[in-house]
Structure 1
Amino acid sequence: MSTAVPARRSPRPALLLLVLLAGWLGLGVATAGPAAAHAELVSTDPGEGARLDAAPGQVTLRFTEGVSLGAGYARVLGDDGERVDTGAASVQDDTVTVPLRGDLPDASYVVTYRVISADSHPVSGAYAFVVGDGELADAGAVATDPDADPFVATALPAARALGFAGEAVGLGVPAFLLLCWPAGWASRRMRRLTTAGLATVAGAAVLTFLLQGPYAGGVGLGSLLDPALLSTTGSSAYGLTTLGRGALALLLAALLVPLWRRAAAPQPPETVGVAVLGAGVVLTTAAVGHPVAGSVPVLATAVTAVHVAAMALWLGGLAALLAGLVRPGVEAGELAAALPRWSRIASGSVAALVVTGVVQSVREVGSPAALVSTTYGWILLAKLALVLLLLAAAGVSRVWVQQHLGLTRPRPGCRRRVTAHAVAATGAGAEEPAVAEAARARAAVQARGAVEDVAPLRRTVLVEAAVAAAVLVLSAMLVGTPPARATAAQPVDVTLPLQSSAGESGSVQLSIDPARPGANTLHLYLFDDDGRLAQPADLRVTLTEPEQEIGPLDVDLEPAGPGHWVADGMSIPGAGTWTVAVSVRLGEFTATTASTEFPVR
């Protein structure tokens, strides 16, 4: 009988997650960069609220990233709601150009748009400008943008969740067989499970492709097979990548057919083929949505690919354990050989999930404030809570493996309790053949005892699988939710007419970046009635938050050129709906004002 001495334990994944999350919370604000994913409108010509002497020949919209019209539109409407553009809107990278018909009368016009950002999500809005002396139209009343159909909005994340689950099974089960359980290639359960998983990946890819058109266009399920929408989606990078994922899954299923028939582990060339096709499925999953938009898309896609691969390894291994290995009647030797290997692979997968998950969170959330003030942030917090629960269940499983199969590693210079099969594995080379054979016999006896007591392990694996299913659903929801970094703070860029007792006189263009609590940068441009930069006798800018009874707070301006002023480091005390007001005195008896509200998150 050996004496038990406490052994050194490796850092737990849950502790690693907490350490990384704490570091992010401490540094997130300081290191937050420009918004990533989901295009935002940054400038227009004519500007919002602009008053022109003559109708322009075109309207241009510029966004923070490349966009496409796809199933969307970019239109200009008269105040009666009728179109006044030529219907030939075009896109060049991040700029949308809408040509207008000639000889338009003096009137108010509304620009309305619905474009598709690089991460495949629609971005919409509307604003108005005036030609002549008429009244500025209410853009919201003239142009109504369709919301996503509720059935489409529900079906799309459900299709994504199905695809994630299919990948976990269709890729993770073969990986488990290759790395941990070669005898499992003879299992019909493993064949059916893998085939069902890959078929689900292909089916989910087709369903996602079909739903993308109605989602982008803001229409219902009745347009699922609309040829125009199908053509638009099929010509986009998102659509091609999605269909490519389904095709790769079917190719992988076809490659596995002879292996199932042979009921034997693949040969090296076949292993390479399985690995290449599996990597293709992973990469096509990572190369859509948020990772391909915003800054450093190549790095973001690579991080997401590692995240998806680690997810498939972990969750696919759980599925294989439940369906084929951790069940009554399994051979003792198979369990004793497979579980220690699986425990090490699962630990590595969890570590990869934690690290890549934190990297993704920093990129998509940006700051702790955004984590608790946006829909994306709250879904991510719910996912983190489930992941912690998942790690706890995985820890229970690991303890079972350590106690029954002797996986724990000793501290250097110390002794610990080991099982007989562990002694046989490490000492066979130093012992006489007869002694080694006796050790292997004792290992088999102990392993059989472990199989008889496998019920606790099966229960914890079932808990892991159930929680993992919920994590996949939340992951699918995150894919379709605007990133917290993009929604938490939206820069202000607006042109306002200056009002006086005698009417309108000139305009002012304001930009506030990033429009969040703390230091901001304000740029102000002042124009006269002829659209030329003007130099006033006096200029004042104030900030007010009426609901919280804050302000007016004076903003310190510094001249930055003719008709241009800057307030670098303008402080906004907190979140809310703020009003920025501009007072301009052009002469001794002429004063004009302009104001607008903007959200601070």
Structure 2
Amino acid sequence: MQTIAPRSRPPRLWQLLLVLLAMTGLFLAGAAPTSAHAALTGSDPKQGAVVDRAPDQVKLTFSEKVAMSDGSVRVLDPSGKRVDTDKTTDLGANTYGVKLRPGLPDGTFTVAYQVVSADSHPVAGAYTFSIGAPSDTKVALPDQEAGGGLVGGLYDTARYLSYAGFILLVGGAAFVLGCWPRGAGVRPVQRLVTAGWVTLTASTLVLLLLRAPYTGSGKLGDAFDMAKLGDVLNTKTGAALVSRLLLLAAAALFIAVLFGAYVKREGPGQAAEKKDLTFGLAIGGTVVALGIAATWAMAEHASTGIQAGIAMPVDVLHLLAVAAWLGGLASLLVALFRTTAVEASAVQRFSTVAFTSVVVLAATGTYQAWRQVGSWSALTGTSYGQLLLVKIGLVVVLVGVASVSRRWTGRIATEASGLAPEAAAAVVVEQRTKQTSGQASRQTSKKPQRKPAAKPAMKPVTVPASGQDGDDPERSAQLARQQAAMDSAREKRIRDADPYRSGLRRSVLAEAGIAVVLLGVTTFLTATEPGRTEEEAANATTAAAAQRSGPLQLKVPFDTGGTDGKGTVQLDLDPGRTGSNTLHLYVKRPNGSAFDVPEVKVSLTNEAKDVGPLPVAPDHIATGHWSANGVQVPMAGTWKIAVTVRTSDIDQVTVKKNAQIG
């Protein structure tokens, strides 16, 4: 007798989605830290510069407008003491300044800044300059980047969940109203849409509380500082989050009507009332969905950069198309796995909605890509462009899987008998049951006739009506559970017996898995510096570096201590970059006349890289003038230039000065 191995139980829907979410989390955890959306492109004094006297203020220039408050820029002396006035000023052209206190000593000063870019992301950094001559500094800056650490991780998670909640809320409600009105009374669909509202509301509250530490100290405890929360409410991002919460209150009323009064309008005389209610829900839901989507557009990428007036409506349309497609997909997945009542017409209507959403996404996504990337080089050479290519690849795969779903949708139709798929599947289940029973009877008849032991006849499970005399409540409850289990098993057999529906379930599940990963990439993309901005900042930094790279000129006084031992050495290094340079030395007396000393020597040392000293022996060219060709500077950085001047057989001194070369 052939033994048939039992079929393994397939994983539940929530288990599969949990695995997909975990995979997305691993993808996000393994990604590199996000870049800031504004970059420091210039400063005065410049980074690494050595100035003769203390400046009145420090100026910082960014690649785009930033939000800056008092204390956003700190200037620290070599001992770590603040020497700025704590008052920042907008000087125009994306340049900001902070005044310095008078009477500053010589040495190396540290400029630390932490601001918020126009698209709501924190930007932080630091650099040094020196007054008179470089010195040691005791300033210790935190290793944690702005927006990083535990607070940054929680904030990014909340952003991901807010997008997911928006998609489930808006897409699920649109699926019910536009594709499957009867789904408003289906409990699994109700739970899905409600879960979307709860997720979006909770994540928005978390974002609002974490906003202050995310853009400030990075300390989780600051999330409950009411003073800092008040400051957040006065920002563009804070206003957007509060507006979202108010709109979610209206969305809660929408859900209550959709799953309450709307479901109850099923009577024969209530068709007109239900039609009016459907129209009202459609108008109200559209307004609320537009408003919620606008809270992202008004505070993130679309609100800054070129063509912001066009980009924000396009961004809203893009978000709504994503929600209609992926949120409707999630609702359809739940309906296919958890119910047997979804009609073929509903699936076909959603197929049309999904196709329209893809067309809208292609149009709006192309515009957004052009606006945020700007060039082919930025598409392949920046983090934003590379992530965008990954997103495009996932969308192409998703559309390919969706085309498979459309083919299964076309096959879901009434069978030859004219029955609906569920009814036809029920007939198949009954036929299979009878066929199995017949085979068992035939196998029994072939066996030797043995009189079986008497067994009590199996009676159908019936639940006694409540209130009858002699009812046993415990027994009634047990029979009710058995009946529910039998009904559930029969519904599952009916779902599995429809091959078209089973194929559609598999393809839609694959779509949902890709959509979860796509949502993670999209969330990560919104936290990455746009390719256009990154490229512009890099070009500005290169241009500033090119302006600094030029003939280097240093003037250093000396005093050998002997008779006629004072003067000034002027050192010219041309072109003042890495590689081969030409060195000229001019020695002058205090009155400015040429000073022909017996000997001059030069050496270069890069202490940070432990390179040098590299000796240079210049040739005497004329009175007070020495020169050397082919002076090699192996790398860019801060170099200590030491000049040794000998004015007599015994009077000699070595003077040193740091300079940025390359």
Q: Distance in 2 between matches of 1:222 and 1:447?
A: 56
Q: Distance in 1 between matches of 2:177 and 2:359?
A: 21
**SS of equivalent to 1:230:** helix
Deviation of residue 174 (structure 1)?
A: 1.4
- Aligned-partner residue type, residue 457 of structure 1: L
- Aligned-partner residue type, residue 280 of structure 1: G
Deviation of residue 525 (structure 1)?
A: 7.5
Specify whether residues 51 and 150 from structure 1 end up closer, same or farther in structure 2 by C-alpha distance, changes over 3 A only: closer
Deviation of residue 464 (structure 1)?
A: 1.2
Aligned with 2:292 (options 281, 286, 291): 281
Question: 1:250 maps to what in 2?
Answer: 249
Question: 1:102 maps to what in 2?
Answer: 102
Is 1:394 aligned to residue 381 of structure 2?
A: no
Question: 2:430 maps to what in 1?
Answer: none
Determine if contact 1:153/1:215 at 8 Å carries over to the other structure. yes
Specify whether residues 256 and 37 from structure 1 end up closer, same or farther in structure 2 by C-alpha distance, changes over 3 A only: same
**SS of equivalent to 1:358:** helix
Question: 1:376 maps to what in 2?
Answer: 384
Deviation of residue 279 (structure 1)?
A: 0.7
Determine if contact 2:108/2:136 at 8 Å carries over to the other structure. yes
Question: 1:340 maps to what in 2?
Answer: 348
Determine if contact 2:552/2:573 at 8 Å carries over to the other structure. no
Determine if contact 2:177/2:278 at 8 Å carries over to the other structure. no
How many residues in Structure 1 have an aligned counterpart in Structure 2?
Answer: 461
- Aligned-partner residue type, residue 306 of structure 1: L
Question: 2:123 maps to what in 1?
Answer: 123
Q: Distance in 2 between matches of 1:201 and 1:240?
A: 16
> Which blocks of at least 5 consecutive residues in structure 2 are unaligned?
1-34, 266-273, 426-494, 556-569, 583-620, 639-662
Q: Distance in 1 between matches of 2:199 and 2:346?
A: 27
Determine if contact 2:41/2:537 at 8 Å carries over to the other structure. no
**What are the Cα deviations for residues 236-257 of structure 1, in whole angstroms up to 9, with x where unaligned?**
1011112212321221121331
**What are the Cα deviations for residues 10-60 of structure 1, in whole angstroms up to 9, with x where unaligned?**
xxxxxxxxxxxxxxxxxxxxxxxxxx9822223322333344343222222
Determine if contact 1:75/1:113 at 8 Å carries over to the other structure. yes
Determine if contact 1:128/1:138 at 8 Å carries over to the other structure. no
Specify whether residues 269 and 328 from structure 1 end up closer, same or farther in structure 2 by C-alpha distance, changes over 3 A only: closer
Is 1:168 aligned to residue 215 of structure 2?
A: no
Is 1:363 aligned to residue 371 of structure 2?
A: yes
Larger Cα-atom Rg: 2
Alignment of 1:505-524 (within 5 A): 512-513=542-543
Deviation of residue 149 (structure 1)?
A: 4.2
- Aligned-partner residue type, residue 350 of structure 1: V
Question: 2:358 maps to what in 1?
Answer: 350
Aligned with 1:465 (options 512, 523, 528): 512
Deviation of residue 399 (structure 1)?
A: 0.8
Instruction: Tell me whether 380-389 or 172-181 shows the greater mean CA deviation.
Output: 380-389
Determine if contact 2:172/2:193 at 8 Å carries over to the other structure. yes
Q: Structure 1 length as normaliser, TM-score?
A: 0.67
The structure, 1 or 2, with the larger RCO (C-alpha pairs under 8 Å, 6+ apart) is 1
Specify whether residues 142 and 327 from structure 1 end up closer, same or farther in structure 2 by C-alpha distance, changes over 3 A only: closer
Alignment of 1:198-209 (within 5 A): 198-209=197-208
Q: Distance in 2 between matches of 1:92 and 1:252?
A: 43
Q: Distance in 2 between matches of 1:229 and 1:149?
A: 19
Determine if contact 2:69/2:88 at 8 Å carries over to the other structure. no
Specify whether residues 539 and 528 from structure 1 end up closer, same or farther in structure 2 by C-alpha distance, changes over 3 A only: closer
Determine if contact 1:43/1:62 at 8 Å carries over to the other structure. yes
Is 1:230 aligned to residue 229 of structure 2?
A: yes
Question: 2:327 maps to what in 1?
Answer: 316
- Aligned-partner residue type, residue 390 of structure 1: L
Determine if contact 1:166/1:198 at 8 Å carries over to the other structure. yes
Q: Structure 2 length as normaliser, TM-score?
A: 0.62
Specify whether residues 313 and 116 from structure 1 end up closer, same or farther in structure 2 by C-alpha distance, changes over 3 A only: same
Aligned-residue RMSD, C-alpha: 3.8
Question: 1:220 maps to what in 2?
Answer: 219
**SS of equivalent to 2:48:** coil
Alignment of 1:49-68 (within 5 A): 49-68=48-67
Determine if contact 1:336/1:447 at 8 Å carries over to the other structure. no
Question: 2:77 maps to what in 1?
Answer: 78
Question: 1:455 maps to what in 2?
Answer: 502
- Aligned-partner residue type, residue 463 of structure 1: A
Question: 2:586 maps to what in 1?
Answer: none
Alignment of 1:546-565 (within 5 A): none
Question: 1:578 maps to what in 2?
Answer: none
Deviation of residue 480 (structure 1)?
A: 1.9
- Aligned-partner residue type, residue 135 of structure 1: P
Deviation of residue 159 (structure 1)?
A: 0.8
Q: Distance in 2 between matches of 1:396 and 1:476?
A: 27
Deviation of residue 352 (structure 1)?
A: 2.0
- Aligned-partner residue type, residue 347 of structure 1: F
Deviation of residue 373 (structure 1)?
A: 4.5
Question: 2:155 maps to what in 1?
Answer: 156
**SS of equivalent to 2:113:** strand
**SS of equivalent to 2:306:** coil
Deviation of residue 299 (structure 1)?
A: 2.4
Instruction: Tell me whether 105-114 or 445-454 shows the greater mean CA deviation.
Output: 445-454
Determine if contact 2:70/2:86 at 8 Å carries over to the other structure. no
Specify whether residues 478 and 374 from structure 1 end up closer, same or farther in structure 2 by C-alpha distance, changes over 3 A only: same
Specify whether residues 525 and 308 from structure 1 end up closer, same or farther in structure 2 by C-alpha distance, changes over 3 A only: same
**SS of equivalent to 2:123:** strand
Specify whether residues 302 and 46 from structure 1 end up closer, same or farther in structure 2 by C-alpha distance, changes over 3 A only: same
Is 1:297 aligned to residue 308 of structure 2?
A: yes
Deviation of residue 448 (structure 1)?
A: 5.0
Determine if contact 1:383/1:474 at 8 Å carries over to the other structure. yes
Determine if contact 1:202/1:250 at 8 Å carries over to the other structure. no
Q: Distance in 1 between matches of 2:55 and 2:394?
A: 55
Determine if contact 2:166/2:196 at 8 Å carries over to the other structure. yes
Q: Distance in 2 between matches of 1:206 and 1:377?
A: 31
Deviation of residue 72 (structure 1)?
A: 6.8
- Aligned-partner residue type, residue 329 of structure 1: T
Deviation of residue 136 (structure 1)?
A: 5.7
Deviation of residue 538 (structure 1)?
A: 9.9
**SS of equivalent to 2:324:** helix
In percent, how many aligned pairs have the same letter?
A: 35
Specify whether residues 323 and 371 from structure 1 end up closer, same or farther in structure 2 by C-alpha distance, changes over 3 A only: same
Q: Distance in 1 between matches of 2:549 and 2:178?
A: 63
Determine if contact 2:344/2:409 at 8 Å carries over to the other structure. no
Determine if contact 1:71/1:216 at 8 Å carries over to the other structure. no
- Aligned-partner residue type, residue 259 of structure 1: L
Question: 1:403 maps to what in 2?
Answer: 411
Aligned with 1:476 (options 494, 513, 523): 523
Q: Distance in 1 between matches of 2:120 and 2:71?
A: 11
Q: Distance in 2 between matches of 1:185 and 1:350?
A: 25
Determine if contact 1:129/1:136 at 8 Å carries over to the other structure. no
Determine if contact 2:113/2:126 at 8 Å carries over to the other structure. yes
Q: Distance in 1 between matches of 2:56 and 2:216?
A: 27
Deviation of residue 219 (structure 1)?
A: 1.6
**SS of equivalent to 2:42:** strand
